[in-house]
Every structure is written in C-alpha cells, then in structure tokens.
C-alpha cells in the first residue's frame, strides 16, 4: 500500500512575499539575497520556508502557449532559482491570476490552468499565490479557482494553493472545496495602524469556524519592519513612517493568535533589531503553529482593550490583551470565566514577548499597563489541583 503524502499546509505557511517591499521591481537578485539571509540569520530554522515571488516575474507574452520569466529581471530563470532555494532548505512560491491578465497586466492563467500548473511543477514551484484580477465578466470565479486547484492536483507535485480574491463571495465558505489551503479574507494590507485594525481586529472576528489544519484564513502579509518604506501601494501615504514598535508587536501577536499565514513583507536584509526580534519570537511562532490549528476569537473587551484567546494542543490557552485606544490602559482584567475555566483553577501565566512569568492566578488575571496600540500576550497553563 502506498504511503500517503503529507499534507503541504497542516500548519499556517510561513515565509516571505516580495510585494510589500519590491512591488513591480522584484528581481532574481532580491530573492536570492533574501534566501541567503533566511539561512544565515536563522529565519529558515524558525519555520519561514516559503519565498514567494509576487507579480512582475513574468515576461509580457507567453512563448509557445507557456508562461515564461522576464529575462532581464530573472536572467537565471525560475527553475534555477527553485534549485537555489531547495539546496538551502527553502521553498519557492510564485504568482499567477485566475483572470486573462495578472493585476500588473502580465499573462493570466484563465483557461491555461492545466498547462500553467504543469509548468510550475516542472520548474519546482512549491506554492502558488493565485490572484483575482481581470476575471472575465459573467464567468464563475469559484469555478476558475476550482480549475486551478484540480490542475495543481494533476500536476504531480505538492503545491500549496493560496487563493487571493480579497474575500469576494465569502471565499472562506468554499476555498477548501476548490482545493485551497489558504484564502485572503480582505483587501490588501497597508503599513499603518488603521489598516491592521480593519483587517485584523474587525474583519476576522467571525471567521474562526472556517479555519482548521490545512485550511487557513489569510488576513494578508505582515508589515512588521517596513517602517514606511517599500511598495507605494502598501505604505500608501505613510512613507517614512509606518507603524510604531507597539503596533508591529500587536500586529504580529494577533496574526499568531489567528493561526494566520506568517508571510514577512519587509526587506529582511535591512530590518532593524526590533523587527527582527518580533518576527523571531519562538513562543509566538509556537502559538501560530500549534497543531490544533484553532483560530482565536474575541472573548471580551474592557474599555479599549480587546481580549482574544484560543486553546492549544497541550491544554494551555494563548490569550492576547490588545489596547486599541489612543492612550495607555493601566490594567485590564482577563476572567477565567471568559476562557472556559472554573474560577478556582490555579494557572501559571507567562507573557510571551518578554518571557516573564507573571505568577499563579485564580479567577482572573490583571495585566500591567498596556501602551496605546500595544498588547500583552499570555500563555495560561492550568495547574494540577
């Protein structure tokens, strides 16, 4: 009896995507340099495995009916780039679109699904981000995504399938049915706090039932470390500014609690120590990669502080207290009742950004002061009676 293949996305995919920083100017050298950094600075060993080339890797026209790469920006070709990543223990992701053209006007995969999937497999691609631009009016987008999902299954290679139709048609209700492993739930993220609140804290609140191992809600890439630099569409009027350190911490913490894909969007070769520390937090990554695959839900609010929580496979609970308000919050409570714990249960509480053990608590935990747009992220471990 043949041994079944492992599922390619039983935990949320982790990696990097070129769009936030490089946009239409991405080059082979950028991807190779990022791969080298991932290996040399430990990001690969933390689980960041996929390097995804977004739009504009393509030539302007198909050749003999097949997609090919832009020889000026990717002179070595995509197969050689895939080999380069694979030799370093990394995986290559690529971009296409379910329409006649990509969002940047390059050839799309509409009605070319089988040949494009075979091409990607032959090149050694491990991940496909499949966008939704220029889909023919009147055509069924769900069926277009289904055709590519089937084509990828027919290709003979395990390829993670990322649906990027910005949440249209409540894609979370059917993304898994068409072969998707993850699906974007909103429009594009930007490097500012309002965008993080809208996409993360608001748009994800009702979507937890649709997440499970191998099936992930995707609130878009991380903006941690961008500092208002990069693709103009992502910084969008916040050039040279971006989010604060506290906002980046809250952004990363929420994505980890949501079991969201963790796709770095900054130029890692130029990120500062604060951003590197956030993205390298092993305790939070463990929460994100927890094998139960449960997406956190908002379990309550105290003034401007929202509490989000999820159970973990070892019986502990991960919880975040997020101050969405304009000023600091001196303290915020987290009652055991909201976590589904008996009031008398003694729990050991550890803050995951600092690693500080906050001691044993019963009935309710009380936070320290939480700065504006900052957070506390906790691992709550019930103790034996």
Q: Which residues belong to the active site? A: 131, 188
Residue 151 to residues 71, 124, 262, 269, Cα–Cα distance (Å): 26, 15, 26, 36
Pairwise CA distance, residues 329 & 254, whole Å: 18
Pairwise CA distance, residues 272 & 110, whole Å: 41
Q: Do residues 55 and 67 lie in contact, with contact meaning Cβ atoms separated by under 8 Å? A: no
SS3 232: helix
- In angstroms, how far is CA 165 from the centroid of its own chain? 15
Structure tokens at 157: 């290679």
Q: How many CB atoms lie within 10 A of CB 180?
A: 28
Q: Do residues 223 and 194 lie in contact, with contact meaning Cβ atoms separated by under 8 Å? A: no
Strands (E), 265-372: 297-302, 305-311, 317-323, 333-335, 347-351, 357-361, 364-366
Q: Of 366, 152, 317, 77, which is closest to residue 68 (Cα–Cα)? A: 77
Q: Phi, psi at residue 113, to the nearest 5°?
A: -60, -45
DSSP 8-state assignment for residue 208: G
């Amino acid at each position: 009896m043949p041994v079944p293949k492992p599922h390619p996305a039983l935990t949320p995919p982790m990696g990097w995507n070129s769009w936030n920083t490089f946009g239409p100017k991405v080059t082979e050298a950028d991807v190779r340099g990022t791969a080298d950094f991932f290996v040399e600075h430990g990001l690969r060993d933390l689980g960041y495995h996929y390097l995804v080339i977004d739009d504009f890797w393509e030539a302007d026209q198909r050749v003999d009916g097949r997609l090919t790469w832009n020889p000026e920006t990717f002179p070595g070709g995509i197969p050689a780039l895939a080999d380069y990543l694979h030799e370093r223990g990394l995986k290559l992701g690529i971009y296409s679109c379910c329409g006649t053209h990509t969002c940047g006007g390059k050839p799309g995969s509409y009605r070319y699904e089988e040949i494009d999937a075979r091409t990607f497999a032959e090149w050694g691609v491990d991940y496909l981000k499949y966008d939704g631009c220029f889909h023919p009016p009147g055509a069924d987008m769900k069926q277009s995504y289904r055709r590519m999902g089937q084509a990828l299954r027919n290709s003979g290679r395990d390829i993670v399938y990322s649906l990027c139709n910005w949440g249209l048609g409540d894609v979370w209700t059917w993304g898994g049915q068409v072969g998707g492993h993850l699906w974007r739930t909103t429009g594009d993220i930007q490097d500012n706090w309002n965008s993080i609140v809208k996409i993360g804290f608001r748009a994800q609140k009702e979507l937890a039932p649709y997440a499970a191992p191998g099936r992930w809600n995707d609130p878009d890439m991380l903006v941690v470390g961008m500092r208002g630099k990069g693709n103009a569409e992502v910084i969008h009027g916040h050039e040279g500014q971006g989010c604060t350190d506290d906002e980046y911490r809250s952004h990363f913490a929420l994505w980890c609690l949501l079991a969201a894909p963790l796709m770095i969007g900054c130029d890692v070769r130029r990120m500062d120590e604060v951003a590197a520390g956030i993205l390298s937090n092993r305790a939070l990554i463990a929460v994100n990669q927890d094998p139960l695959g449960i997406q956190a839900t908002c379990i309550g609010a105290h003034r401007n502080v929202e509490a989000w929580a999820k159970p973990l496979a070892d019986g502990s609970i991960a919880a975040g207290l997020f101050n969405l308000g304009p000023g600091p919050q001196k303290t915020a409570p987290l009652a055991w009742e909201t976590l589904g714990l008996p009031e008398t249960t003694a729990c050991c509480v550890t803050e995951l950004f600092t690693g500080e053990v906050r001691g044993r608590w019963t009935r309710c935990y009380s936070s320290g002061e939480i700065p504006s747009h900052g957070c506390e992220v906790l691992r709550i471990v019930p103790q034996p009676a």
